[in-house]
A = this chain, B = another copy of it.
Amino acid sequence: MSLNKQVKIILIETTNSGNIGSALRAMKTMGFDNLCLVSPKDFPSENVETMAANARDLIGRIQVTQNLDEALEGIHFVVGTSSRMRKVPWPNEALDKVAATIIMEANIKKNIAIIFGREDRGLTNDELQRCNLHVNIPANPEYPVLNLAMAVQVVCYQLYIESFRELKSSSQDHWDVPMAEANHIQRLIEHFIEVAEQLEVFNKGNPRQIGARIKRMFTRIGLDEMEVNFMRGFLAAVEKKLEDK
């Protein structure tokens, strides 16, 4: 599978050329570079370049067509974005629920088009009926109206993360210091309690099971070795001052 080759983003009759540039930038941030404009109202335009920012290298590759048929050539699976409920209900799925399906279609080598409608009226019924699937972006029912380029960003983001599921590792894998052993943390806790007792801080308004609270605090943090060593050094320095006294 090569998502960026197989997925084509189609914008129909876009009015605001700034949205075209923003959509292109949004696509590039998620690794997509295949944009098609059906009868854009204002293209080419300087606004596209301005809003595309560092995706402007992709402007030259934008496909422009007269109609949707032409745009859908070579496409196997058509997804329409839509928030409106239709008279004739179409399979309409929430983006987060359906991203896996779209990725699966790509996995079996289908070319996929994702169609976004006009800023003011979305997709026509004719256009929606060309789609295998309607997708809605889950949104505030009182104001579900995402800007066009925002919608492109969210759809591309959801497909991007879906394409990586199970591949991603957490940053904690790259912690710069090894995690401390439980026994070292245990010794730190004992040391801390000892010092706290010497400082007589236990009974000064800290009544409620403070020993248990200290243990809980230091164990749940997940300390690394350097942190344990530093805290031990800190406590040793306090003790030394107490002895010197």
Contacts and interface: CB of A to CB of B under 8 A. Distances in A.
B138 A55 contact: no
B233 A168 contact: no
Interface in A16-48: 22, 25-26, 28-31
A154 B174 CA distance: 25
Given A91-B172, A140-B29, A176-B89, A153 B146 contact: yes
A138 B154 contact: no
Given A91-B171, A171-B89, A26 B150 contact: yes
A93 interface: yes
Given A29-B144, A143-B29, A92 B153 contact: no
A196 B237 CA distance: 9
Interface in A124-168: 137-140, 143-147, 149-150, 153-154, 157, 160-161, 164, 168
A100 interface: no
Interface stretch (A60-68, A70-78, A109-117, A199-207): A199-207
A107 interface: no
Interface residues of A, number: 70
A31 B144 CA distance: 9
Interface centre among A137, A161, A196, A227 (most CB of B within 10 A): A161
21 contacts: A26-B150, A29-B143, A30-B139, A30-B140, A31-B140, A55-B143, A89-B175, A138-B160, A139-B157, A199-B241, A201-B230, A201-B237, A204-B233, A205-B233, A213-B226, A213-B230, A217-B223, A220-B222, A221-B221, A241-B242, A244-B245
Given A54-B143, A140-B160, A206-B229, 9 more contacts: A22-B150, A29-B139, A54-B145, A94-B161, A96-B161, A138-B161, A205-B229, A217-B221, A221-B221
Interface of A: 22, 25-26, 28-31, 53-55, 88-89, 91-94, 96-97, 137-140, 143-147, 149-150, 153-154, 157, 160-161, 164, 168, 170-172, 174-176, 196, 199-201, 204-206, 208, 210, 213-214, 217, 220-223, 226-227, 229-230, 233-234, 237-238, 241-242, 244-245
